Structure 1
């Protein structure tokens, strides 16, 4: 099965509840010749699963980021949600906060948290499902 290398993007901002510095995982993008239309936000379960798998790689130092990504809470409906959870207070903010994080990151305050190979069929199943954002870092 063919694969492609996918980057996981993050942004440093404080938790809205306890102000602890938090690294927010917000998006995925193929590494090789990235097309801005393939930028995919982590506000739906399939993208969270891919990001969590990439971040949980035992050869990297991002397992703590993988652990902070949680599934959609029961009280949230629809596609949009925020998978990031604060390690100190356990707060899982709603998708509006993730939207603010993405906006902050798009103004140059982002970092590549990790990268790994993803099967092409899995990527095709989720790619381009961002909120109409076209972004090339």
Structure 2
């Protein structure tokens, strides 16, 4: 099975409730010469799971960040979803906060939180959902 190396992107900002500094996981991007349209936000279930697995890899030190990622509730539909939860107080901000984080990250200050390999077929399945966001820093 062929695989692809993917970067998990994050942005550091405080929790809106307790001000604890968080790494907000917001996206995935292929590591090797990506095109902007390959950027995938983590507000889709497949992308959340993929980011969690890369962050929780045994050779990394980001397992605590992986544990803070929530799956989309079964009743919630559509694009708007924030997978991040505060590790200190447990606050789960709404999608408006996540949207603001994504906008700020797009203008700089984002972090390569982790890198890992994912199956190409799984990446294509996540990418096949027509997410329509272009990452400007490829």
Distance in 2 between the 1:7 and 1:99 partners?
20
In structure 1, the residue corresponding to 2:8 is in which secondary structure? Answer: strand
Q: Is the 8 A contact 1:7 1:30 kept in 2?
A: yes
Distance in 2 between the 1:123 and 1:60 partners?
21
Q: Paired residue for 1:85?
A: 85
Distance in 1 between the 2:51 and 2:128 partners?
15
Distance in 2 between the 1:105 and 1:135 partners?
10
Distance in 1 between the 2:47 and 2:70 partners?
12
Q: CA shift at 1:95, angstroms?
A: 1.3
Q: CA shift at 1:127, angstroms?
A: 1.5
Q: Is the 8 A contact 2:15 2:22 kept in 1?
A: yes
Q: Is the 8 A contact 1:55 1:62 kept in 2?
A: yes
Distance in 2 between the 1:121 and 1:128 partners?
10
Q: CA shift at 1:80, angstroms?
A: 2.0
Distance in 1 between the 2:27 and 2:8 partners?
6
Q: Is the 8 A contact 1:40 1:130 kept in 2?
A: no
Q: Paired residue for 1:50?
A: 50
Q: Paired residue for 1:27?
A: 27
Q: Is the 8 A contact 2:11 2:101 kept in 1?
A: yes
1:65-104 maps to which residues of 2 (within 5 A)?
65-73=65-73, 76-104=76-104
TM-score, normalised by the number of residues in structure 2: 0.92
Which runs of 5 or more residues in structure 2 are unaligned?
Answer: none
Which runs of 5 or more residues in structure 1 are unaligned?
Answer: none
In structure 2, the residue corresponding to 1:87 is in which secondary structure? Answer: coil
Give the length in aligned residue pairs.
Answer: 137
